[in-house]
Amino acid sequence: MSLSDPIADMITRIRNAARNKAKKVDCRNSKICTGIAQVLKDEGYVADYSVIDDGRQGILRVDLRYGPNGEQLIHTLKRESKPGCRVYTKADLLPRPLGGLGIAIVSTSSGVMSDRKARQSHVGGELLCTVE
């Protein structure tokens, strides 16, 4: 079975697991999904992630993180650029979700990074998703 949008699949799995207060979630592994997981880890939305070898593509296991009283840190996780309608932005036009409290994840020529890091590096790219 082929999957037409692995990024949307990963985002939906993380969103559903966060709503159900799951401790971890398994996704399909790919370079872009690993990059998204790394950005979420760097920004403090997930505790950790690991790649499990299953003899094929691999499984990306994401350990979710919650607040001190069990409140979820990821309230909104939205896919912006879709296979049918790609969204590209320049570095100075990158969105600031929640006025800078959230992050936008961008796929640039220098790899997958958050909007703050992309603005700092002065690189634009494809706007993958926003996290609030």
As a three-state string, the secondary structure of 24-37 is EEEEECCHHHHHHH
DSSP string, 23-91: SEEEEE--HHHHHHHHHHHHTTSEEEEEEE--SSS-EEEEEE-B-TTS-BS-S-EEE-SBTTB--EE-G
Residue 122 — very low, low, confident or very high, per pLDDT cuts 50/70/90?
very high
Q: How high is the pLDDT of residue 3?
A: 83
d(CA 101, CA 16): 22
Question: Mapping DSSP to helix (H, G, I), strand (E, B) and coil, where does residue 113 land?
Answer: strand
**In percent, how much of the chain has pLDDT > 70?**
98
**In percent, how much of the chain has pLDDT > 90?**
97
Residue 23 — very low, low, confident or very high, per pLDDT cuts 50/70/90?
very high
Residue 2 — very low, low, confident or very high, per pLDDT cuts 50/70/90?
low
Which tens digit of pLDDT belongs to each residue from 46-82?
A: 999 999 999 999 999 999 999 999 999 999 999 999 9
Q: Is residue 85 part of a domain?
A: yes
Which tens digit of pLDDT belongs to each residue from 92-106?
A: 999 999 999 999 999
Average pLDDT in the chain? 96
CATH number at residue 45: 3.30.1370.30
Q: Is residue 1 part of a domain?
A: no
d(CA 63, CA 100): 24
Identify the domain containing residue 19 by its residue range.
Answer: 6-131
Tell whether the model's pLDDT for residue 1 goes beyond 50: no
Q: Is residue 117 part of a domain?
A: yes
Q: Is residue 78 part of a domain?
A: yes
Q: How many CA atoms lie within 13 A of 130 on its CB side?
A: 15
d(CA 38, CA 15): 16
Number of domains within the chain:
1
